[in-house]
Every structure is written in C-alpha cells, then in structure tokens.
A = this chain, B = another copy of it.
Amino acid sequence: MDTSPVQDPKRPHVVIIGGGFAGLNAARRLGKAPVRVTLIDRNNYHLFQPLLYQVATAGLSPAEIAHPIRSVVRKQQNTEVLMGEVVGVDKEGRSVRLADGKTISYDYLVLATGSVYNYFGHEEWARFAPSLKTVTDATHIRRNILVAFEQAEMESDEAKRRALLTFVVVGGGPTGVEMAGAIAELAHRALASDFRYIDPQHTRILLVEAVPRILNAFPEHLAQRALEKLVRLGVEVRTNAMVQAVDEYGVVISGDRIDSPNVIWAAGVLGTEPGEWLGAETDRIQRVKVGPDLSVPGHPEIFVLGDTAFVPDPDGKPLPGVAPVAMQQGRYVADRIRARVEGHGGFPPFRYRDKGNLATVGRSFAIADFGRMSFGGFFAWLIWIVVHIVYLIDFQNRMLVLTQWAWSWFTFHRGARLIVREEPRQWPGG
C-alpha cells in the first residue's frame, strides 16, 4: 500500500498556524515540496481582510470575501487542514497544543496568527467601540449601523435621534478612512430615500485621528487629497484629537463629549499570542522580534510572520502590517524551509519588495503611492479595483464581487443590508 504524502512519516512536518495571507501563501508554496504540511486555523476560511469594511457597510456578503481554506489547498496531496484553536507551543518538545487537548508535533513551525485591535489599555471600550478584524466583527458593525437608522426613524426625541445618526470612526489609517467614506456613501446615497421621518443626508460622520494628519503611511500631498475627498463626502475629520472615554452613549474626544452609540475602532493593532507562546522578545505592540530569515532567535525551525512579526526594513523602521508584506513573507519562508529540507545552503535574508500602497475613499476615488510616482483620483481607484479583484483568491468570488460592485456603482444600491439577529431564535414554548 502506498503512503499518502500527507501521512508519510519520513517527510519533515511543517505546521502552519493561521490561514491569513502569510500562512496561506506559505502553505501553497509548499504544495510540491518534499514535506507534509498541516495548516491550522480557527476558522475554516481565508478572509480577504482588505475588503472587510465593505461587509461592515453592507456592500458585500461575507462569503464573497471569504473562501474555504480546504478548497484553496485541495489539490496539494501533501497538505492537510485542521480547524482548531492553538493555545500553546512546546519549543523543546517541538509540538503545538490545541484547545481540545490534542498536540501536534512539528519539524518546522510557522506562526502567522495576525493581529488584533489595540485599545491602548482600555479594553473595556471594545464593547462600545467594536473593531473590524473578523467576519463576526463586520456583521456586528453592519447590524449596528443599520439598526441606528431604524431606531432614528422611530425616535421622537430630537437629541436622541441626532445621536443615533452620529457615527464616530476612531483612527485615520486606511481602514478608518475607508470605513468613514463608506458610511458617508451608505447614508447619503444608498439610504437617502428609504426613510420617511429622518433624512439620512443629515447623518454626521466623524473621523478622529490622534496625530496631526490622516494616512500617515502616505506622502503628505496624497493624504491631503484624501482629506479633501472625505470632506466632500460629508465626513468631519478631527486630527490631533485624543479619545479619552467611550461608553454606551458616546465618546469624549479631547475634552469634547459627542453623543453617539455608533463608535467604530480602527486605531492601531497588537500582535497576537506567538510572543507569549514562545516566551520570545517582542516589541511594544507584542510583535515577535525575528531574525533576518524570519526565524526566532535560537530556534531556526520556528518562523513568525505577518502582522505578528517585528521585521525592520533596511532603515530600521518596522515593515507595515499589510497584505503584500504577509504574502511575500509566506512565500519566503516556504522557500527557506524547502531549501533547508533539500540541503541547499546560502539562502538570502528576507527582503520586502514594496510595490506600492493604495487606499480608497468612497466610490471612484483612491490614492496610489508607487514611490517615485504618486497620485489620487479615479485612475488610482481603477488600479485599486484591479489589484483587489486579482488578489481575491478564487474565480467565483471575483465574478460575484465584480457584479456587486458594478451594480452598486451604477445605482448607489447596497445589496447586503441585512440586520441579522445575533441571539439564537426563541422557539415556541421554549
């Protein structure tokens, strides 16, 4: 009887934790390598996070930006997928521990568990100011936004109605800017004629940023273009503004209380558990400090990549937590492991090849920074569309998302305006 590659005990075992951009790219790149691969994720799907804000603002359905991991690696005979939650790593015994008590031993370990939002020591704010990392987060925020309009329509108290129609997005990075722009379009266009007692055009949208300007990772003139576009969309942008308190009914920004039950958090991230699991040195936002080959100092068989790794660029600045970095790191580590297994030496250190940076502000406007060349406007937005569609992993999703977008673009319609109940339904008599 033949041994299937996935069970062949003679092959070195590569265990990858996390099916995001980094982990999935590593797994795919190892599909033909003489190893066996186990990819573990707590979800059964890969999430295309750059479009998650579209789910939160009712433009897309979750399944359109999520794809079953099993399908992606279906044809790789050496790869198995496990849906499970990792809770620890035994570096000396070379195994990972799952929440259900199982352990899985490895020869090579790739940790790519991503990031969570950083509430800067105020984790109690998360209840009132949800952030946008998971599908559940996105449908939860979508629910909140749509329910706010429904409640405003029924509210007779003018102050309460104004509060319900006030949205505060904390954090002026690409996610915050995209969210604010999308909420503005949802309110001012898609919902404009759906209500009888409120005018969604009167919706107030604030974007709050702690530093002097938004989109810090972009050149100043591009950030300025984005700012102007936001203002045209009806977004109030407050820079140099600190969030001092968040509760059920509003937020205090630099001493100024704003009544709003609709606060969305997009203000910086924290690395996830790998630093703790490994007892490794981390930076101030819990990212593991790795060597030039992305391995953990003293453990050449353990790699940390993506949002949860601290990797300095040649100037000493950390690489940003964006998809291209994660994808390149995933492929790099796969090649590195393969070279080691096949006995090749002299492998070069990881180098990020920055192909440019994009951010979109509402419909038909984006900014693009390609280093020597940078511009904003409709053409940048077309590039944004093409890049995002190309990277959406499978053909079906591309078609669906394109159809949705084409439709929304021409009609200002938003297709996924579902308020889905979060509690399980009550059964008769139960």
Contacts and interface: CB of A to CB of B under 8 A. Distances in A.
Contacts of A196: 4, 6-7, 80
A413 B67 CA distance: 11
By Cβ-Cβ distance, the 3 closest A-B pairs, closest first, are A63-B416, A61-B61, A70-B194
A66 interface: yes
A136 interface: yes
B74 A194 contact: yes
B428 A123 contact: yes
A84 interface: yes
Contacts of A63: 61, 415-418
Interface in A138-152: 139-140, 146-147, 150
Contacts of A102: 154
Kindly name the residue among A63, A74, A404 whose own CB sees the greatest number of chain B CB atoms within 10 A: A63
A154 B82 contact: yes
Given A134-B425, A400-B403, 18 more contacts: A4-B196, A43-B421, A44-B419, A45-B417, A45-B419, A61-B61, A74-B194, A80-B196, A80-B197, A81-B194, A83-B419, A123-B427, A124-B430, A126-B430, A270-B428, A396-B407, A396-B413, A400-B404
Interface residues of A, number: 69
A382 to B, nearest CB: 22
A45 B193 contact: no
A135 B142 CA distance: 15
Contacts of A74: 193-194
B123 A429 contact: yes
Contacts of A45: 417-419
Contacts of A216: none
Interface in A37-88: 43-45, 61-64, 66, 68, 70-71, 74, 80-84
A20 to B, nearest CB: 15
A116 interface: yes
A137 interface: yes
A308 B193 CA distance: 32
A63 B193 CA distance: 20
Kindly name the residue among A68, A74, A83, A137 whose own CB sees the greatest number of chain B CB atoms within 10 A: A68
Main secondary structure of the interface of A (DSSP, over half): mixed
Number of copies: 2
Contact of A427 (B126, B154, B428): B126
Contacts of A135: 418, 420
A265 to B, nearest CB: 10
Interface in A3-61: 4, 6-7, 43-45, 61
A251 B413 CA distance: 46
A14 to B, nearest CB: 15
A322 interface: no
A348 to B, nearest CB: 34
B419 A43 contact: yes
A195 interface: yes
B71 A194 contact: yes
Given A61-B63, A70-B194, A123-B430, A140 B44 contact: no
23 contacts: A44-B418, A45-B417, A45-B418, A45-B419, A61-B64, A61-B416, A63-B417, A63-B418, A70-B191, A70-B195, A71-B413, A74-B193, A81-B194, A83-B154, A83-B419, A84-B154, A126-B430, A127-B427, A134-B421, A135-B420, A136-B420, A136-B425, A396-B407
Nearest to A131: B427
